[in-house]
A and B are shown apart, each in its own frame.
Chain A
Amino acid sequence: MTTLTIRRSVLPGFRLTLGVSLTFIVLLLLIPVAALVVKGSSQSVSAFWASISSPRALAAFRVSLLASAAAATINTALGLATAWVLERHRFAGRGLLDMLIDVPFALPTSVAGITLATLYGPNGMIGRILAPLGIRVAYAPAGIVVALIFVTVPFAVRTLQPVIRDLDPEVEDAAESLGSSRLTTFLRVTLPELRPAILTAFTLSFARAIGEYGSVIFIAGNMPMRTETIPLLIMIHLDQFDYATATAIALAYLVAALLLLTIVQSMQWRRR
């Protein structure tokens, strides 16, 4: 009886919740994006092309997309290892590690950027060790990747954790009892199960990384052609009251990002 009443009380909310979520999505998502598209496409094609194909903009596209892809890749691999160790093993400090994963969510990204720039700068705790080896992290493209990994860690770990938790270890035991090696078991049994979650982890990390501004500007060095990212370039054009170029670059960036995300997602569909 109780279950019935609970079910009934949930169902009639459909129209209300749909109405609320539609209003919410239209006001906060659709209208701003539509405004960007309208404003970006209201200029002439040649002006639009000139804005997005200047050497400086092209260099920034390259820096932003490559750094985001690198960060998302590294993060997916390390995130898988972290999620695995958190879900499959019990060890001292596991709760603390689990909690630490969420820190990048809570920390203002500018604080993260300043901290990383201090640590990895030529005189910083870590930078001082790397400098004699000829490795530059802060104020170099590597610095951008480090900052992006920092802000996207929770996206990978938190996406993979519940999926790993739901994996049945008995399937792996069965594979092993049938003579499969540990590596084969992982590659042929475990990994296919995790594949969709891994792709989602990559997608989320990548999507988060391409939009990141706050932490990156502190560690990137912001040199045009070398370490200038698209979000910074957009800000720079806005600061110069050059709204047309800013919206053109933003629109092209949005399209490029959506295209890349669609490609990654389609890898998932094909397998199904």
Chain B
Amino acid sequence: MWTSVNRCPVTGSPGRPVSRPGDVVTRGPGNRAELFFARIVDSIGRLLLIGALVLVASALSAAELLNVSYDPTRELYQEINSEFARAWMRAHRESVVVKMSHGGSGKQARSVIDGLPADVVTLALGYDIDAIARAGLLPATWQSRLPFHSAPYTSTIVFVVRKGNPKGIRDWDDLGRPGLSVITPNPKTSGGARWNYLAAWGWAKRRYGSDARAMEFVSRVFRNVPLLDTGARGATTTFVERGIGDVYIAWENEALLVTRTIAPGRFQIVMPSESILAEPPVAIVDSVVRQHGTSAIVRAYVEFLYSPMGQRIAAKHFFRPRDSGATAGLPPTFAPVKLFTLEEMFGSWSAAHAAHFANGGSFDRIMAAHR
């Protein structure tokens, strides 16, 4: 049997001596190249084998969930998911991967209706989950299955203005002042924009006493809107990066993200005298979970949102937790504000939708009058 010094085919320098039983190696340029390729093939084979093993192993032990969510929850669920995976591993010795899908709330609901296999949906408003329920994927009573109308965290609608508040914006009625530029996304496509719209309407209705006067006020605000982005994140970019607009009507969580994380020192938040209690709900998609056999883990995931740790993560990402103790030790974040609920002002999401956002609703009438 021969033992050859294996030389690197490029430099010709001696490499690792190869001596394996069964190898018959004769000296010669062709054989050296052959041996080199044999080693490449060998290592590729090994890599493939390892890859296959990893795949099989992960398929056997890692559970997988899909959480279909709306736009501004990216940072929140990134942390929720990794902490949930850690907690689940500790309790069940099983790894779990939660995949996310983010986008406009209405579009996300439509994807789920059209077959995106979401185990759980965490959307901007109940109306979108109602639509999924109408498609038969979960019962119509979904909202009563979890505490607090299935909304583990809340938010509200606030104003973001440029540093020093150069236009002196203090409350909703300032937004109707002529010559001001107001940024808000399109209420037809953005869940956040619908909350903005209803917050403005609700405030005006309480202040001026009637729906007709409220419509007049909202119409004046929309005269000041130069463009409508399709989602909350797009509107944030327009206001923050492009520098368009004097005031941005935003989710409180998005406003805090801007003033504390994205662009600290350049903007400030103005709390209106009154705003709406925004309740972004979560729901388990029964028909998908039944198919995936993930019911236990999905229930744990949803309950995790209500747990002390889940509540604390929500507070950290600027969502108002249900558990007021969750903010202990965090820097003061949530300014007190008088809140009204959607139900007391508009009855239900279907009623609010029909009156304001459906074809021919108040938004369409306002925009048609602005021609």
Chain A residues near B (Cβ < 8 Å): 54-56, 59, 117-118, 121-124, 139, 217, 220-227, 232, 235-236, 238-242, 245
Contact = CB atoms under 8 A, between A and B. Distances in A.
Interface of B: 104, 106-107, 109-110, 113, 131, 186, 188-189, 225-230, 242-244, 357-360, 364, 367-368, 370-371
B371 to A, nearest CB: 5
Contact of A54 (B227, B229, B242, B359): B359
Contacts of A232: 230
A241 B367 contact: no
Contact of B227 (A223, A239, A245): A223
A55 B367 CA distance: 10
Q: Which 8 A-B residue pairings sit nearest by Cβ, starting from the closest?
A: A221-B227, A239-B106, A224-B367, A139-B227, A236-B188, A222-B228, A123-B243, A241-B131
Contacts of B357: 240
A108 B27 CA distance: 55
A241 B357 CA distance: 12
Contacts of B188: 236, 239-240
A262 B9 CA distance: 65
A239 B104 contact: yes
Nearest to A219: B227
A139 B226 contact: yes
B230 A222 contact: yes
Contacts, number: 71
A242 to B, nearest CB: 7
A217 B230 CA distance: 8
Contacts of B368: 55-56, 224-225
Contacts of A56: 364, 367-368
A116 to B, nearest CB: 12
Nearest to A236: B188
22 contacts: A55-B368, A56-B367, A56-B368, A59-B371, A121-B244, A122-B243, A122-B244, A220-B227, A221-B226, A221-B228, A222-B228, A222-B230, A223-B226, A224-B228, A224-B367, A225-B368, A225-B370, A238-B107, A239-B106, A239-B107, A241-B106, A242-B359
Given A223-B225, A245-B359, 15 more contacts: A54-B360, A118-B242, A123-B243, A222-B186, A222-B227, A223-B227, A223-B367, A224-B364, A225-B367, A225-B368, A225-B371, A235-B107, A236-B188, A236-B189, A240-B357
A136 to B, nearest CB: 9
Contacts of B225: 223
Nearest to B132: A241
Given A118-B242, A221-B227, A225-B371, A239 B189 contact: yes
A124 B238 CA distance: 12
A217 B118 CA distance: 28
A239 B357 CA distance: 12
Contact of A121 (B109, B113, B229, B242): B242
Contacts of B109: 241
A42 to B, nearest CB: 18
A262 to B, nearest CB: 31
Q: Which of A235, A239, A242, A245 has the most CB of B within 10 A?
A: A239
Nearest to B190: A239
Contacts of A124: 242
Nearest to B370: A225
A225 B188 CA distance: 14
A41 B368 CA distance: 27
Contacts of B186: 222, 236
B364 A241 contact: no
B242 A123 contact: yes
Contacts of A117: 242
A143 B321 CA distance: 42
Contacts of A222: 186, 227-230
Contacts of A220: 227
A117 B229 CA distance: 12
A241 B110 contact: yes
B350 to A, nearest CB: 12
A59 B371 CA distance: 10
Contacts of B244: 121-123
B269 to A, nearest CB: 22
Nearest to B357: A240
Nearest to A238: B110
Contacts of A226: 371
Contacts of A123: 242-244
Nearest to B134: A241
Contacts of B358: 240
A220 B370 CA distance: 17
Nearest to B237: A114
Q: Which of A124, A222, A225, A238 has the most CB of B within 10 A?
A: A222
Nearest to A123: B243
A207 B210 CA distance: 48
B221 to A, nearest CB: 14
Nearest to B229: A222
A245 B110 CA distance: 15
